[in-house]
Chain A
Amino acid sequence: MLDHILYAFSDVFAVWNLALMTIGVTAGLIAGAIPGFTIAMAIVLTLPFTFGLSPVEGLATMIGVFVGGLSGGLMSGMLTGIPGTPSSIATTFDGFPLARGGKPGFALGLGVWSSFFGGLISAVLLVTLAPSLAVIGLEFGPWDYFSLVLFALTITASLSGENLMKGMIAGALGLFIGTVGEDEVNGVARFTFGFDDLESGFSFLPVLIGLFAFSQLLSDIQDRVKAREPLMDVSGTDGRVRVEHLAAIRTILSRWTNLVRSSLIGVFTGVLPAAGGSISNILAYDQAKKASKTPEKFGTGIPDGIIAPESSNNATAGGALITMMALGIPGDIVTAVMLGALLIHNVQPSPTFISDNPDLAYAIFIAFFLAHFIMIAMQSVTLKLFLLVTRIPMYVLASVILAYCAIGVFALNNIVYDIWVLFFFGVAGYILRLLGFPLAPIILGVVLGHVAELNLSRALSIDNDLMLFLSRPWSLFFLVVAAFSIAFPWYQKLRGTQSWTLAYVPALLAAVAVPMFMMEGIARPIIGVALLAVSAYLLWRSAKAGWKVAPEGDHEVHLEET
């Protein structure tokens, strides 16, 4: 193991790799700071540059963009009141008042260092949990894997917006897009309608860039007047703001319970397929407010209101990487792109990923740690760069990036057909956005469709008994949580108003306990007993209170593009 770690160290700390990571973090910080320019888009646009790099260099660069992007949103949120990304929305609640109250350097310091500590906590959990989770992943058969994919898709759809049906349709459309072209199992062409080019199907990258970047850019320039204005009004912002590092570190460490709690919320949210920084920052802010002795001060510019969202959104990245590396399932769009990058380099993501590619796995761990140090170093530099970039009008940025999209997509397979695919999905993505369809489930559908089909085929070739999907514990576990995730939007909407919502969590715990009892060993059935006990306690508590409902939380949870 030590030789793998040393090898990974030498790869990550190579001068060229450090330079790439610095560029990646800087680009991420800038992209994260620009409203409308999401982290997912920044990662998508980074991908073409990584074709010519080694897997370690490519992934380290993307991790740099990811970490930078998660931290970049705080700059615009604090200085202008407009969050750069959805993962920094809650940061604005207290960051903006604090900055406007004459302490912009302290506010930025709190944000930057909370991001740093949150990221480090999640990095430690990534290193310790990912290999353990991968060991569990090795128990999965094709039935379990198929059910896991179903769960990933249903939870993405259910968190994608107010209209569950459109989220589900989007997921199914993604699965269908993945069926076009030669199938992996039998090598038979499907839905080609006589076009030879379609036999190779749709490459992941043109679909992704078309659906996400192309359509997003066109949405950004839809308003003719706004498109011609500078990206942001930063006229009242002093570019000479000095980040107050020491004061911020002291303040954060004195509130370590908030830091740890928020980081854990971030990691847990990241581990869930589909849930990302856009959810975790609001959840953490909500919990910090509930736990505070002075909740009324939240929103006026208090440190706890910055520490919670910023530590949690960076911790989400570690959580998402845990799922990606341990199970080969993307936690969000960003990790879906990273999986795409791995596939381009012929690295197959699966539960055996860490044991099959230890050098690469450890390099990812180390790069994730390192990216946070680079982020701290680059934050002050990018503040000035950010103020410069915001003077560019959106139409200039969009026009140049669209040309870059065409070049980047062509570089994937050196065929013009891929640019046509980009164009087609650019139009489709724009129309779907206008019609209120979330795009994240489509992307996950495209990525996971092949995995689902392959595992369904494997499962049926081993045994064509469909009951195995229900009788195998892990498969049943994922199907149970998938079913509950479908009901989640109704639970979330009606929580605090209808009494049945009081039974949602106890029912989920009791249902999840069933597959736990079916599992071998002693530990898991014990967990099953514990889940049943908690379920019974919650029901007893609700019954004792006469099934009275009380409004909970101020913020609904929806997945937005990070």
Chain B
Amino acid sequence: MGRLNRDTLIALVLLVFCGVMFSASFEIEVTNYGTMQSSVWPQVVLVVLTVFSLGLLGQSIVKPRAVEASAEAAPAGLGRFRNALIVYVLFFLFLLTLDLLGMLLGGVGFVFLALTLLGEPSLKRVPLHLLIAVAMVGIMWSIFTFGLGVLLPDGELLQLN
């Protein structure tokens, strides 16, 4: 997909988003108090967002070269996002299992798996990754638990609090 098409697509997605949210703004409760209703400000913002999205749409059609995105945005296949996808999946799993594993075990698991999957695929590195995960998460967990008095989720497997 060319750059022109991508920015056109972004503008269209934004316009749909504005439409949906504008429609949702009519569901906001109307109160019989207050000078400015709670829906006014979001609607003002959505109108502004719609105008800018239309501007981006027009720009992407009229002057496609001017709408070039940053160099970062150049697509080069999904493989380019491998690391980001790994981290998102691991973080999602970490969140899903937080009730069971808690912050300490879950955190160690997340860091260990992230290191192992992002780093060099070598068995020699596994103990090092485990050591880093246990040490770093352990230190952070201790600072927040004992130093700052934060009750981090301990999970069903390891009840510490």
Contact = CB atoms under 8 A, between A and B. Distances in A.
B83 A224 contact: yes
Interface in B96-141: 98, 103, 107, 110-111, 114-115, 118-120, 132-133, 136-137, 140-141
A525 B142 CA distance: 61
Interface in B54-95: 55-56, 59, 66-70, 72-73, 80-84, 87-88, 91-92, 94-95
B21 A176 contact: yes
Interface in A186-243: 186, 188-191, 193, 218-219, 221-222, 224, 227-228
A363 B82 CA distance: 47
A52 interface: yes
A457 B103 contact: no
A341 B64 CA distance: 42
A257 interface: no
Given A172-B48, A172-B49, A176-B45, A407 B151 contact: no
A405 B46 CA distance: 31
Given A224-B82, A411-B150, A395 B31 contact: no
B28 interface: yes
A396 B153 contact: no
A161 interface: yes
B8 interface: no
Contact of B35 (A399, A406, A435, A464): A464
A423 interface: yes
Contacts of B45: 172, 175-176, 179, 449
B52 A172 contact: yes
B148 A51 contact: yes
A396 B38 contact: no
B136 A403 contact: yes
B137 to A, nearest CB: 6
A227 B132 CA distance: 17
Contact of B42 (A51, A176, A423): A176
Contacts of A420: 95
B14 to A, nearest CB: 7
Contact of B6 (A173, A426, A435): A435
A456 interface: yes
A423 B91 CA distance: 8
Contacts of B92: 423
A427 B92 CA distance: 11
Interface stretch (A163-171, A263-271, A467-475, A511-519): A163-171
A244 interface: no
Q: Could you tell me the dominant secondary structure of chain A's interface residues? A: helix
A434 B72 contact: yes
Contact of B24 (A51, A169, A191, A426): A191
Contacts of A388: none
Contact of A410 (B35, B41, B103, B118): B103
A190 B73 CA distance: 33
Contact of B91 (A165, A411, A426): A426
A436 interface: yes
B33 to A, nearest CB: 7
B149 interface: yes
Contacts of A373: none
A433 B36 CA distance: 35
B110 A403 contact: yes
Contact of B52 (A51, A165, A185, A404): A165
B158 interface: no
B13 to A, nearest CB: 10
Interface string A377-411: 00000000000000001011011101110111011
25 contacts: A51-B148, A169-B14, A172-B48, A183-B38, A189-B29, A193-B24, A218-B83, A218-B87, A221-B118, A228-B119, A393-B119, A399-B118, A400-B111, A400-B132, A402-B110, A403-B110, A403-B136, A406-B110, A407-B141, A408-B144, A414-B151, A416-B98, A419-B95, A434-B73, A461-B36
The 8 lowest CB-CB distance pairs between A and B, nearest first, are A436-B69, A52-B148, A461-B35, A399-B114, A188-B38, A395-B118, A172-B49, A179-B42
Given A395-B114, A399-B133, A400-B111, 16 more contacts: A51-B150, A52-B149, A165-B55, A165-B59, A172-B48, A188-B31, A191-B42, A193-B24, A219-B72, A228-B119, A406-B91, A420-B95, A426-B88, A434-B72, A456-B36, A457-B35
Interface of B: 6, 10, 14, 21, 24-25, 28-29, 31, 33-39, 41-42, 45-46, 48-49, 52-53, 55-56, 59, 66-70, 72-73, 80-84, 87-88, 91-92, 94-95, 98, 103, 107, 110-111, 114-115, 118-120, 132-133, 136-137, 140-141, 143-144, 147-153
Interface of A: 48-49, 51-52, 161, 163, 165-166, 168-169, 172-173, 175-176, 179, 183, 185-186, 188-191, 193, 218-219, 221-222, 224, 227-228, 393, 395-396, 398-400, 402-404, 406-408, 410-411, 414, 416, 419-420, 423, 426-427, 430, 433-436, 449, 452-453, 456-457, 460-461, 464
